[in-house]
Amino acid sequence: MALTRLFVVLLGTALPLLFFSPADAGEVGVSYGRLGNDLLDTASVVKLLNKSGITTVRLYDANPTVLGALANTGIKVMVMLPNDDLAAAAADPSSALRWVLRNVAAHYPATRIHGVAVGNEVFEEARSLTWQLVPAMANVHTALVKLRLDEAVKVSTPIAFTALEASWPPSAGRFRRDIARPVMKPMLDFLERTGSYLTINAYPFFAYLEQPDKISLDYALGSSMTGVRDPVTGLVYHSLLDAQLDATYFAMEKLGSSAGVRDEGNSSLGRGGRPRVRAYVSESGWASRGRRRPGRRLEADGDGAPAPAPAAAATIANAKAYNNYLINRVLSGDTGTPYRPDVDMDVYIFALFNENQKGWGADDIERHFGLFYPNQTKVYEFDFHGGALPSWCVANAGVRDARLQAALDYACGHGADCSDIQPGAPCFEPNTVVAHASHAFNSYYQRNHRAKAACNFGGAASVVCHQPKIGNCVLPSKAWIQETTAKSEGYAAI
Ligand SMILES: *[C@@H]1O[C@H](CO)[C@@H](O)[C@H](O)[C@H]1NC(C)=O
Ligand SMILES: *[C@@H]1O[C@H](CO)[C@@H](O)[C@H](O)[C@H]1NC(C)=O
Ligand SMILES: *[C@@H]1O[C@H](CO)[C@@H](O)[C@H](O)[C@H]1NC(C)=O
């Protein structure tokens, strides 16, 4: 029975865990790949970045022309020491120092370099370098220390998500056995010691392509209304990216305990065994068209491979939905995950341009990840300034009915329009607490001008970027003129 009562229930102290501390804000940037023969000159690219409000970029090298063009723009840059230079940097500290002098120190601070990626997807793309990876990172860091750049410039290495051998449910997340203790453990200790972060290339898009029968598209796009529950933790995931991030956190955590590390306050595990190192997303994105090689992820080389398979999910609409979800997610400050609601997260969207020298041919999905065509036309609408795109607030299905009902009563008593969910009204059916709560939460959220804090209700609500349909009713997204002053964060205090 979900009849809405239009008064506020005093909750007393029964719901002390409703108060969520908001995550620190992260930043959303773009990966500026240049594997194309028709790309814009760098000066025009910098103008385009500026005009688009893009304030952070990741490069796949440390090209001096690009770094020069980015000087004095305020744009933050993550440069990369390519896999080809990794062995030398690992073997010889003076080689690492020379690389840092030429590719970082020579440009800093005019160019705001704030990170060095040492290699890219080494476990996938340069397996023979696996054992040299952490030594190379350490030598690059030592060089930065020598040049007094180690505070400003952090060292990490983007790993492919395949570094995890288990990722569902997220609580089962663990790193591949062969790299977990010998490589990931020392890497995490290094990242912790140097105040850096783990960077992963995480693509719900590819997970969905692999298992379209098991994964819902909405979930892959970050906007599942019902969500998927981790049966072990009970946490509900509305976004596959969150599940991938939490799998990574659990893998980090497990590694600590399986290596027998106790929390001394200086291991990469924080109090209670939770990793203190944050996981940032060094690449994520969604192709807007194309086909792929079956069984291959990136950089299909194709010898004798079967014919390209269609990738039905590679559409402009889906790419637009996913990348706007990423942008809005970070800009709204809502970067925490269900397991780590407190963490901040930087995200680099892959990629700035469609790149016509990637993959196996014109139709390869690899060539269609760009936000822009090479002629500066947007492939679809997006907005790094924030706030321009619609969003909705829905109830989390995993939350107990009693908590949802309490939050529903609060919303209806604090300015939400709950007339449509009264008996006989058009949105009364389906008559469930979660459906009624979604109507009330959304109304409250829209009336508060989609302030992030107005879609919280102690963790009972989530922002989604797809217009939800409940029974016969779509949730509206227009901002009403009428304003209420309460935010749902105040809800926890009553
Ligand atoms: C674009 O450039 C102008 C002038 O240099 C600067 O004031 C502005 O902050 C830049 N915008 C972004 C998003 O970096
Ligand atoms: C942890 O750090 C403290 C002080 O920084 C130090 O005294 C202690 O020996 C360290 N413990 C370990 C296990 O490294
Ligand atoms: C830019 O390129 C795209 C894709 O080739 C094309 O559809 C679009 O019309 C072009 N825009 C301009 C302004 O030339």
pLDDT tens-place string over residues 400-409: 999 999 999 9
* Amino acid 82: pLDDT: 98
Residue 259, amino acid: A
d(CA 352, CA 28): 12
Please report, for the domain that includes residue 359, its CATH number: 3.20.20.80
Q: How far, in whole angstroms, is CA 234 from its chain's centroid?
A: 21
| Residue nearest ligand 2's atom 1 by CA | 266
Residue 142 lies in a domain: no
pLDDT band per the 50, 70, 90 thresholds, residue 417: very high
Check if 362 has its Cβ closer than 6 Å to any atom of ligand 3. no
Alpha carbon separation from 431 to 373, 394, 470 (Å, rounded): 47, 15, 11
Total domain count, the chain: 2
In a 13 Å sphere around the CA of 365, the CA atoms on its Cβ side amount to 26
The answer to whether residues 280 and 189 belong to one domain is yes
Shared domain check, 177 and 214: yes
- The tens digit of pLDDT for each residue in 179-230 reads 999 999 999 999 999 999 999 999 999 999 989 999 999 999 998 878 899 9
Q: Are residues 409 and 318 in the same domain?
A: no
Residue 356 in domain: yes
d(CA 117, CA 414): 48
Q: Which amino acid is at 147?
A: L
Query: Based on the domain organization, do 316 and 225 belong to the same domain?
Result: yes
Atom of ligand 3 nearest to the CA of 376: 1
Residues 174 and 236 in one domain: yes
- What percent of the chain has a predicted confidence (pLDDT) above 90? 65
pLDDT digits (tens, 9 = 90+) for 28-38: 999 999 999 99
User: Does residue 363 lie in a domain region?
Assistant: yes
Task: State the pLDDT confidence band at 12, using cuts at 50, 70 and 90.
Answer: very low
The number of beta carbons lying within 10 Å of the beta carbon of residue 431 is: 13
Query: Residue 23 has what pLDDT?
Result: 37
* Three-state SS sequence of the chain: CCCCCCCCCCCCCCCHHHCCCCCCCCCEEEEECCCCCCCCCHHHHHHHHHHHCCCEEEECCCCHHHHHHCCCCCCEEEEEECHHHHHHHHHCHHHHHHHHHHHHHCCCCCCEEEEEEECCCHHHHCHHHHHHHHHHHHHHHHHHHHCCCCCCCEEECEEEHHHEEECCCHHHCEECHHHHHHHHHHHHHHHHHCCCCEEEECCHHHHHHHCCCCCCHHHHCCCCCCCEECCCCCCEECCHHHHHHHHHHHHHHHHHHHCCCCCCCCCCECHHHCECCCEEEEEECCCCCCEECCCCCCCCCCCCCCCCEECCCCCHHHHHHHHHHHHHHHHCCCCCCCCCCCCCCCEEEECCECCCCCCCCCCEHHHHCCCECCCCCECCCCCCCCCCCCCEEEECCCCCHHHHHHHHHHHHHCCCCCHHHCCCCCCCCCCCHHHHHHHHHHHHHHHCCCCHHHCCHHHCEEEECCCCEECCEECCCCCCCCCCCCCHHHHHHC
Whether 365 and 442 map to the same domain: the answer is: no
What integer pLDDT is reported at residue 275 of this predicted model? Answer: 67
- CA-CA distance, 49 to 462, in Å (whole number)? 30
Same domain for 339 and 414, yes or no, is no
Query: At 92, is the pLDDT very low, low, confident or very high (cuts 50, 70, 90)?
Result: very high
Pairing of strands 164-166, 228-229: unpaired
In short, whether 266's Cβ falls inside 6 Å of ligand 2 is: yes
Query: Residue 80 domain-assigned?
Result: no
Q: Note whether 99 and 89 are within 8 A (CB).
A: yes
User: Does any domain span residue 12?
Assistant: no
The residues carrying an active-site annotation are 121, 283
Cβ-contact 302, 308 below 8 angstroms:
no
Tell me the CA distances in angstroms from 298 to 89, 160, 315, 397, one per residue in order: 26, 10, 18, 35
Q: Among 168-177, 315-324, 327-336, whose mean pLDDT is lowest?
A: 327-336
Does the bond joining 204 to the residue before it have cis omega, within 30 degrees of 0? no
Q: Please tell me whether residues 181 and 279 are part of one structural domain.
A: yes
The pLDDT of residue 182: 96
Structure tokens at 143: 């060089």
Q: Which of 303, 304, 285, 282 shows the shortest CA–CA distance to 365?
A: 285
Q: Greater confidence, 328 or 480?
A: 328
User: Could you report the per-residue pLDDT of 183-192, keeping only the tens digit for each?
Assistant: 999 999 999 9
Q: Does residue 262 have its Cβ closer than 6 Å to ligand 2?
A: no
Are residues 474 and 397 located together in one domain of the fold?
A: yes
Alpha carbon of 458 to those of 22, 24, 55, 125, 487: distances in Å?
Answer: 11, 17, 32, 43, 11
- Structural contact between residues 403 and 441, judged by C-beta atoms closer than 8 angstroms: no
Task: Answer yes or no: is 122 within a domain.
Answer: no
The yes-or-no verdict on residue 234 having pLDDT over 50 is yes
In-domain check, residue 253: yes
What is the number of the ligand 2 atom nearest to the C-alpha of 265? Answer: 1
Question: Among 266-275, 371-380, 482-491, where is mean pLDDT lowest?
Answer: 482-491
Same domain, 336 and 452: no
Domain that holds residue 451: 392-481
> What does the block give as tokens for 245?
């991030």
Our answer on whether the CB atom of 71 is closer than 6 Å to any ligand 1 atom is: no
Q: Are residues 324 and 454 in the same domain?
A: no
pTM comes to 0.76
Q: Say if 11 falls within a structural domain.
A: no
Ligand 1 near 48 CB (within 6 A):
no
Q: What's the gap in Å between 419 CA and the centre of ligand 2?
A: 60
Longest CA span, the chain: 77
Q: 328 and 459 share a domain?
A: no
What is the number of the ligand 3 atom nearest to the C-alpha of 375? 1
